[in-house]
Amino acid sequence: MYATLLNAEERILQGHRLSLADFSELLEQRTPERQKRLADHAVLLRKQYYGTDIFVRGLIEFSNYCKNNCLYCGIRRDARQVDRYRLSEEEILSCCRSGYELGYRTFVLQSGEDVIYTPDRMERLIRLIHETYPDCAITLSVGEYSREVYARWREVGATRYLLRHETADPAHYRRIHPPEMSFDNRMRCLRDLKELGYQVGCGMMVGSPFQTAKTLAEDLLFIQDFRPHMVGIGPFIPAQGTPFSGERAGTLDMTLYLLSIIRLIHPTVLLPATTALGTIDPRGREKGILSGANVIMPNLSPVSVREKYKLYDNKICTGEEAAECKNCLSARMESIGYHVVVSRGDYCGTENQHD
Ligand code: SAH
């Protein structure tokens, strides 16, 4: 049968390329039966490429200072009640040390856009971590910089970069960001990172203010075309001290449905079941894995600062030591038949020939 005669559900299950209209149809007509069918198929595909392995990334939230003022984000510049902190190089290295002992082989350095951690200082830090742990992958998630800066960081040992595109719809982008931030620059960053040979992660919040089925369909079309190595999605959760503090959170079901769709349109993608998903449902991360995700990102930051890196309210796991976090998540994964592995957990597709 010609692909065009199939409905969107059949087309996605058979691995066809989807149009904007297909994605809109899938999103607007989400039934429990359809969601179950897509999730089952997503899990099948995920097992084909990654078995029952779960990759872990040790997340180090090293600074909550930020020069940006994103309307949704709990650590935005104007959020006055935030207790700001910045870990030193030694503290970050000590997080890596305990992470390494626990079996982590990927470190994710995430922060607000902190002007005190200049590109030069970041370069020294990346080099130091890379020299100390040459068998580990270094992932950066520190925001928008020039191509030249990304190239320097790549040269001294960073190999992955997470930069959520936030929304693929420029008009939607303008409604959730201040006027001085630019959709085009965010997209430029993603393209540069990919061209420089990073394994790149994009992504968006689910249920952010002003999001519609159409903007989400555009996100999916973007993911299908851009073919990132990773996609980070989680529900939007309102944060105190932001203009969106009174808005509704995104839902568990919509997030799970999107995880399945993303696995189906991009079978080899690295897909985390995020902390935000665990925050809106006590078994959110397990449900994420059972919808097609294959990565979890436990926290390695010192407990003394955990509570302060609050992108949104009621964030979970802020009181546990790194070892407890790891044990808890390993047990959660075992309970659903999956296994946390000691591995860098590289992308298994063919997009990145440089690493
Ligand atoms: N400063 C870095 C890291 C940002 S924090 C950067 O610009 O990339 C990581 C992600 O958290 C953001 O990209 C955003 O998608 C998500 N986030 C921020 N506020 C949130 C909220 N209120 N609810 C859920 N996710 C949020």
CA of 75 to the centre of ligand 1 (A): 9
Nearest residue to 177 via CA among 209, 201, 203: 209
Ligand 1 mean position to 164 CA, how many Å?
8
DSSP 166: B
CB atoms within 10 A of CB 323: 13
Predicted pLDDT of residue 351: 67
Q: Which two tokens stand for residue 184?
A: 């085009």
Index of the ligand 1 atom closest to the CA of residue 242: 22
354 confidence band (pLDDT: 50, 70, 90): very low
Residue 139 Cβ < 6 Å to ligand 1:
no
Question: Which ligand 1 atom lies nearest to the CA of residue 166?
Answer: 15
Spacing, Cα 108 to ligand 1 middle (Å): 14
Q: pLDDT digits over 232-261, tens only? A: 999 999 999 999 999 999 999 999 999 999
Per-residue confidence (pLDDT) for residue 352, from 0 to 100 = 53
Q: Return the CATH architecture of domain 16-341.
A: Alpha-Beta Barrel (3.20)
Residue 93 has pLDDT above 80, yes or no: yes
* pTM (2 d.p.): 0.97
Q: Is 112 in the pocket of ligand 1 (CB under 6 A)?
A: yes
- Four-point Cα dihedral 8, 14, 19, 25, nearest 10: 20
Question: What distances in angstroms separate CA 291 from CA 52, 161, 189, 262, one per listed residue?
Answer: 13, 24, 29, 10
pLDDT, one tens digit per residue, over 290-342 is 999 999 999 999 999 999 999 999 999 898 888 888 899 999 999 999 999 98
Domain boundaries, the chain: 16-341
Give 176-222 pLDDT, tens digit per residue.
999 999 999 999 999 999 999 999 999 999 999 999 999 999 999 99
| Protein residue whose Cα sits closest to atom 12 of ligand 1 | 164
**Smallest CA separation from ligand 1 atom 24, residue:** 236
Rg from Cα positions in the chain: 19
Q: Is the CB of 59 under 6 A from ligand 1?
A: no
